[in-house]
Structure 1
């Protein structure tokens, strides 16, 4: 018994030392990030049932110089998503929701999207639905104008073009979680905020946690959100949007830590549910594991398993991280959108768990040494879909990637046809045909794959005459008009004011790739469509991240 007490005492002393070290680092970081009389952040850490660190920095309201505290409520932005997913799991456990049911079973007014979308597709971001934040930007709808759940639903109903077939890919979509909030309301016969606050928060004693679901709803102890501008700190209009499901959960640090501990010892649903939160729920069409569960991402950080989610909205930033193998939880929230809560969370990880770090190998397999004759098969210029050219050259028994105005990058073989780079995170696979020739490759980077074809010397098809494609266009999905006009004799795509305001995109030049295909800076590829008479009748913006194949019809 005496030995056990000594061991426990040693553990507590170690945790106390870690907490003191962490506080010193957080205090130093706060002096840099918050300065004097600036908006700030809160950070808290639990280990098992114990809160080992919690502290608030900076001001919650600059007008009245009110400091942040452990009771200040912060907008969790997209960290809110896992709370919506937990509500869905609770309703599933009660037999009220079938995750494999089509979404129209619970929201009958939704249109037919051409493919069956299941409830689980919404949860895991595999539905193919375009993300409403992107839709609003491209439709010219300000992110700071009043926007309700009804507005959100109407937008989702009107934008019917899917990014991909449901279940095939993972692509983050706020639309999915807005629909999940509506499903919770329809199934529970309660307003979303009533259900979340009464069925999830109240049983855990979380008295400083709220869902902001209607304009003007009072949120006690609410921090004001800010952003850094050339004129200094300015207040943001965060409360204009009252859409729930994917955002707009407000929570105090004290309640964040209660919620974080609940993950390890759940009482709202059966403990076995935890296994579903921390393991891949499915495979995608390409055979890869889906690393997003119920509103949470599965991450390996230096050999440590993390279950986490980030959040960012106007004026606020948040980051929640669970460490399943270490029974630890970290919560960070800020009322300055320019503060990186992810960086603060990583600093906590470095401080508390560095002894467990394992540096991951850059390659999955041991390097393979290939003969010079094999490497020379991979030489040549490969043109990517967006017009970029990747050049490969063998030098002294090694293969190099040549990019204009950049150093040469050595490639390392992991198989007879697959290579990776150590200079940055990317891989490529050369496709060898039945005759042993290489005319195509697949480039993997940033979680995406890109096809490149070997340049055989064929000249690109000339661009269409400018008069063919200059004019006004309209997107029925976006209910918005765009224009292609000339500026200094260069065709430009005139963007909505929202894209200029939020992303700095205004008049974007069209750069010809091949035939009817053009590249537009920061938007990627667009291509013109033609009718049966071969006349240009519209164009498509291929891929802008959370939105693909945005279609426009030429009206004059």
Structure 2
């Protein structure tokens, strides 16, 4: 940027930087932690100077241990940055190329019909590989069960189809980074934990950072993760998650500062590595996405920024964000799960970074197409529609019905969600999202585009189905999946169908959605029939079980 504009920006920021000591009370107002409650650790820096290093709350409620600047937190998916850096480090050493197909380094990775993802597509989350978390659930594993790298690799490599052609969409999954960890182990000849410790954490001076690789490891100053329910806190630790690549790293804000400063040295000494990591990825159609190689991009107060978020149901939330134009870094980490933590985080940022009016660009006004459709034309889109879920979204059902010359989207209870605004070519606006209809003669459908760069949700028209007891009895039986060595027993009890899992330890009722499809804990269980209409198996999230 030019010198004049730099001077203006610095002049604007001087009041904030000059009186940082006076911001403590304002930070306290943002983070009002109750007595005897989990808390938060905060670090803010400008250049090499730490502006704020502050902690609130309790790290371990059993023993009333307060959070200090030595407390280590599980930072969740922020660990993906370390994995991405490790891959690029190996590439710089000439041991791999991120342009190569991932299967070259991963035993048993399928040759997918839709194409073979490259290592780079694993890194930038455009591979199309399915999310493994849901598959583990189908395999009857919970957050309390031991989940190892070999288990997760088995789930991923036994899933033989992709969600889309590699590079066609952006879809964030943990599977991509679990696979990357396996590549690091194979190429480096070290365990993933050892490579991270010896080749990443130690060179960056991160003395209080560890990749958890055992349920028995003693980790000094470790915070316990909690969730809150009706005012009470409960432990939510994921002690048994020890797989690699996507998380399971514990650190302190001071060590994250060392990571951050270390990356600035990498920028100067290993320019190509840094550039690859911090360049936005491009889809097959040329669209640019707000994701690099283990880096998420965003804008706040008209400044460009990048970093990563880490949210885990084990009771931890973290966020790392860097504003390069100001050379300012913000990092917060807490030991209680909150889905709306970002509001607090950006209130904190706003104390230090005012809105940058110099970067405001005049936006061209996009004129919405005004399309008038007749009642006859609108009625073509009426119907009940079912979205059968995806790796990250559960099933959704709605009804589209003509009301007062407009198409209303209704819940199954008849509550109105919104009105569809026609824009032509079978397309409508669903609030600020696009939906596109396909009016096939046999079954209508529409795609809901949450983002133009992400896989759209496909809603298909369906006919809600009910069954009598005699018909329900046809679904009874034992179903087995040989790949994962798991079975599910379906039994009719008092006119309702139940799925028994884990040798009968678990029981879940399944309710009919449409012909041969049932709601199974917000996933769809679809029964498979042969040419004689006899039930031969079932499918959940693409995993098939054979009736035995």
TM-score, length basis structure 1: 0.80
Distance in 2 (alpha carbons) for counterparts of 1:319 and 1:497: 41
Distance in 1 (alpha carbons) for counterparts of 2:493 and 2:101: 48
Partner of 1:483: helix, strand, or coil?
strand
Check the 8 A contact 2:103/2:116 in 1, yes or no. Answer: no
Give the C-alpha shift of residue 528 in structure 1.
1.6
Distance in 1 (alpha carbons) for counterparts of 2:503 and 2:286: 40
Alignment of 1:103-252 (within 5 A): 103-108=102-107, 116-160=116-160, 162-228=162-228, 232-252=232-252
Q: Does 1:552 align with 2:545?
A: yes
Q: Which residue of 2 aligns with 1:52?
A: 51
Q: Which residue of 1 aligns with 2:393?
A: none
Give the C-alpha shift of residue 85 in structure 1.
0.5
Q: Structure 1 428/145 Cα, relative in aligned 2: closer, same or farther at 3 Å?
A: closer
Distance in 1 (alpha carbons) for counterparts of 2:22 and 2:376: 58
After superposition, give the CA deviation of every residue in 1:399-450 in whole Å (9 maximum; x if it has no partner). 654555324734445556533244xx432234589x9xx9664333475534
Distance in 2 (alpha carbons) for counterparts of 1:317 and 1:129: 25
Check the 8 A contact 1:138/1:478 in 2, yes or no. Answer: no
Q: Structure 1 489/63 Cα, relative in aligned 2: closer, same or farther at 3 Å?
A: closer
Q: Structure 1 339/382 Cα, relative in aligned 2: closer, same or farther at 3 Å?
A: closer
Give the C-alpha shift of residue 236 in structure 1.
4.4
Pairing partner for 2:414 from 401, 405, 413: 405
Q: Structure 1 302/412 Cα, relative in aligned 2: closer, same or farther at 3 Å?
A: farther
Larger CA deviation: 148-157 vs 41-50: 148-157
Check the 8 A contact 1:363/1:420 in 2, yes or no. Answer: no
Q: Which residue of 2 aligns with 1:15?
A: 17
Q: Which residue of 2 aligns with 1:544?
A: none
Q: Does 1:384 align with 2:385?
A: yes
Give the C-alpha shift of residue 300 in structure 1.
4.6
Q: Structure 1 214/391 Cα, relative in aligned 2: closer, same or farther at 3 Å?
A: closer
Tell me how large the CA RMSD over aligned residues is: 4.0
Q: Which residue of 1 aligns with 2:257?
A: 257
Q: Does 1:310 align with 2:309?
A: yes
Q: Structure 1 512/371 Cα, relative in aligned 2: closer, same or farther at 3 Å?
A: closer
Partner of 1:365: helix, strand, or coil?
coil
Q: Structure 1 38/451 Cα, relative in aligned 2: closer, same or farther at 3 Å?
A: closer
After superposition, give the CA deviation of every residue in 1:249-292 in whole Å (9 maximum; x if it has no partner). 221111112223444453586234444344432315x7754443
Check the 8 A contact 1:130/1:162 in 2, yes or no. Answer: yes
Q: Which residue of 2 aligns with 1:474?
A: 480
Larger CA deviation: 400-409 vs 186-195: 400-409
Q: Which residue of 2 aligns with 1:294?
A: 293
Q: Which residue of 2 aligns with 1:428?
A: 435
Distance in 2 (alpha carbons) for counterparts of 1:112 and 1:481: 27
Give the total of aligned pairs.
Answer: 525
TM-score, length basis structure 2: 0.81
Distance in 2 (alpha carbons) for counterparts of 1:451 and 1:130: 16
Q: Which residue of 1 aligns with 2:392?
A: none
